Amino acid sequence: MAVPDEAPAAEVIAVPGRPDAPVLVSPREVPQRGLGSVAGRAAFLHAVAHIEFNAVNLAWDAVYRFRGMPRDFYADWVAVADDEARHFAMLSARLTALGAAYGDHPAHNGLWEMAVATADSCLRRMALVPRVLEARGLDVTPGMITRLRLNGDDASADVLEVILREEVAHVAAGTRWFHWCCEREGLPPGREFIRLVREAARGSLRGPFNRPARHAAGFDDYEMSELEAMEPAR
């Protein structure tokens, strides 16, 4: 599957299709709640559902936007879109079980803002969306699974276990196509990735990093050492 060569040039999509709710606010205005209550767990799952909703749009945007890539590129991102839609459905079902629904809480637009910022470059998109923003989930999800189980919510933890396992493959797809773009442009992938992070996404770094999951997703020791060196002191 690919966009035909004779199709019109891709347009920047400032606002993708989405429902009227949730209301989008700045990241600082998104409320933080503990996992010790049903309301807190619903708010947490709502935030994860919002990430997965955006991830569906991001995957389809990659298919639409970046022309002239190998056929496997489009197959990868169609498969990712399918996975992300399933993740959203699983989280929506858990929200329903907790007496909540997607749209109940405000959310932020950071993922899509990065999509707009990288609309002119497949190399930058692959580096900064899958390998920075989405890779963040590899770091934080194991701890959230543990906290959910400690609070007796095994059903939600089981959903996150599925998402974590499959997100490793999604970040790995980002690594694979970032490397392909670097090879096409004659750039060393590791150094180019670190340069892009320093230039455009240093503020998105939050450790500690899940080295095993990131290695499985294609990060090498050089990249991990450089990311850890950039991490703000806590």
Q: Is residue 195 part of a domain?
A: yes
Instruction: Rounding to the nearest 10 degrees, give the CA dihedral for residues 217, 223, 225, 230.
Output: -110
Q: Is residue 11 part of a domain?
A: no
Q: Is residue 67 part of a domain?
A: yes
Number of domains in the chain: 1
Read off the pLDDT of residues 104-137 as tens digits, 9 standing for 90 and up.
999 998 889 999 999 999 999 999 999 999 999 9
Q: Is residue 197 part of a domain?
A: yes
Read off the pLDDT of residues 174-206 as tens digits, 9 standing for 90 and up.
999 999 999 999 999 999 999 999 998 877 788
Q: What span, in angstroms and rounded, lies between the C-alpha atoms of 16 and 34?
A: 31
Please report, for the domain that includes residue 163, its CATH number.
Answer: 1.20.1260.10
Q: Is residue 8 part of a domain?
A: no
Query: Long-range contacts made by residues 155-163, C-beta under 8 angstroms, separation at least 24?
Result: 155/94, 155/97, 156/41, 156/45, 156/94, 159/87, 159/90, 159/91, 159/94, 160/48, 162/87, 162/90, 163/48, 163/52, 163/87, 163/90, 163/137
Q: Is residue 21 part of a domain?
A: no
Is this structure's pTM higher than 0.85?
yes
